[in-house]
Structure 1
Amino acid sequence: MDTGLVTTLIVVGVVVVVLVVVGIAVWATSRSLVALKGRVDQAWSEIETQFHRRAELVPTIVDTVRGYATHENGLFETVTQARAETLTAGDAAAASEAEGHMQKALKRVFSIAEGYPQLQSSQAFLQLQSELVATEDKIQSARRYYNGSVRELNTKIRVFPGSAVARNRGYREAPFFETAEPAAIAEPPRVQF
């Protein structure tokens, strides 16, 4: 056999092996990006579910407190507006801002409630408060899971070969669910009766 032909076959073989390895790496990276994006979307869905659960509780809490603190209409309007803002937030950036407003409003509602002993002893109010605290804890948990998923996706997008595959497939870094005022969401609104 001719040495030139052997050399050509070796070069072709090496090129084919390299192309196969590159193809497998691109395929694996692409699948990984799809999985990570799916995890981010699923985590965001959980946050939205908890927002809706809280949104169902808030009007009942507001109505209960309003029965005792009738002169606080401005606060109740603020809570209603924050609730609507949270429900219409389409992405993590808008939800982050809305969440800060909601937390401030709820803390004010519970601060006002402290001044009404009859309200503090109302079994219905205590049950609503307990449900709200449980929901806030679930929101915080979902937020941590979402941000962890976003961190993994964003890291994959920034590091080669993920960066090349992401660029070619149109993947973008996902925003974290943060707030301009971290103290507002540092802990759920809690009032001890």
Structure 2
Amino acid sequence: MKPLAIVGIILAGIIILGGTALVSKSNTIITTDAVCEQMAGQVNSALQRRLDLIPNLVETVKGYASHENETLTAVIAARASATQVKLDASTLTDPAKLQQFNQAQGQLSAALGKLMVVSEQYPNLKADKNFQDLMAQLEGTENRIKIERDNYNKAVTALNVEIRTFPGSLVNSLMAHVKERQVFQAEEAAQAAPKVSFGKSAPAVPAAPAPAAGGDK
């Protein structure tokens, strides 16, 4: 009976250790997913900050360039569309929904880019203190959006690797049941928009040197 008892103890130890390892891996997957969810919230917060700045920006521009109706209307419409597409768990696990979200955000970025181009034509607008403050806030917000998206993408990549590879894939199917998340891609509409550095003038391009008189023939 002693050999059988020893075998039983060994098997029990293996089962306990195996079960502990499975639970530990499941907890790791769930924790990583929770980190992704938290970072998604930070992306949402930065995007909401941009939405909150736009009404004041539009009103300020309107005060100096009220006849730029087409550009102002485009920004307002793009903002309205962006507010209709929510960034939540269902969006971040569905490629089609995330593409729709990115398109709405890209159109908003493109409309804002065009508005910045228009503002360059109005020196009094550019000199307005409120406009300058809004531009500084908007530039900081755009940078924050990029940082938060990059952080989210890194966390999602780690999660997806965890649940795609063994033993994480097995543990996830048996215990955690965490869905694969989608990463943010570059916004195509924003890429096509004019590139404007908020609140900063483009550097002057030096003139080409004049050819020397009586040069070599």
TM-score range relative to shorter protein: 0.7 to 0.9
**Whole-Å separation in 2 of the counterparts to 1:107 and 1:74:** 14
Counterpart residue number, 2:132: 126
Q: What is the one-letter code of the residue matched to 1:96?
A: N
**Whole-Å separation in 1 of the counterparts to 2:10 and 2:157:** 37
Q: Does 1:174 align with 2:178?
A: no
User: Match for 2:62 among 63, 66, 69?
Assistant: 66
Q: What is the one-letter code of the residue matched to 2:120?
A: E
- Tell me by how many angstroms 1:69 deviates: 2.4
Matched length: 188
Of 167-176 and 84-93, more deviation after overlay is shown by: 84-93
Q: Is the 8 A contact 1:54 1:132 kept in 2?
A: yes
Q: Secondary structure at the match of 1:17?
A: helix
Q: Is the 8 A contact 2:120 2:126 kept in 1?
A: yes
TM-score by length of 1: 0.87
- Tell me by how many angstroms 1:9 deviates: 2.2
Q: Is the 8 A contact 1:33 1:166 kept in 2?
A: yes
Structure-to-structure mapping, 1:42-121, within 5 angstroms: 42-88=38-84, 89-90=86-87, 91-92=91-92, 93=98, 94-121=100-127
**Whole-Å separation in 2 of the counterparts to 1:77 and 1:8:** 82
Structure-to-structure mapping, 1:160-171, within 5 angstroms: 160-168=166-174, 169-171=176-178
Percent identity over the alignment is 29
**Whole-Å separation in 2 of the counterparts to 1:48 and 1:64:** 25
**Whole-Å separation in 1 of the counterparts to 2:17 and 2:197:** 54
TM-score by length of 2: 0.78
Q: Is the 8 A contact 1:51 1:139 kept in 2?
A: yes
5+ long unaligned stretches in structure 1: none
**Whole-Å separation in 1 of the counterparts to 2:139 and 2:198:** 7
* Cα deviation 1:26-57 (Å, max 9, x = unaligned): 11111111211111011010111111111111
Q: Normalized per residue, which structure has more helix?
A: 1
5+ long unaligned stretches in structure 2: 93-97, 202-217
Q: Is the 8 A contact 1:40 1:150 kept in 2?
A: yes
Q: Is the 8 A contact 2:117 2:196 kept in 1?
A: no
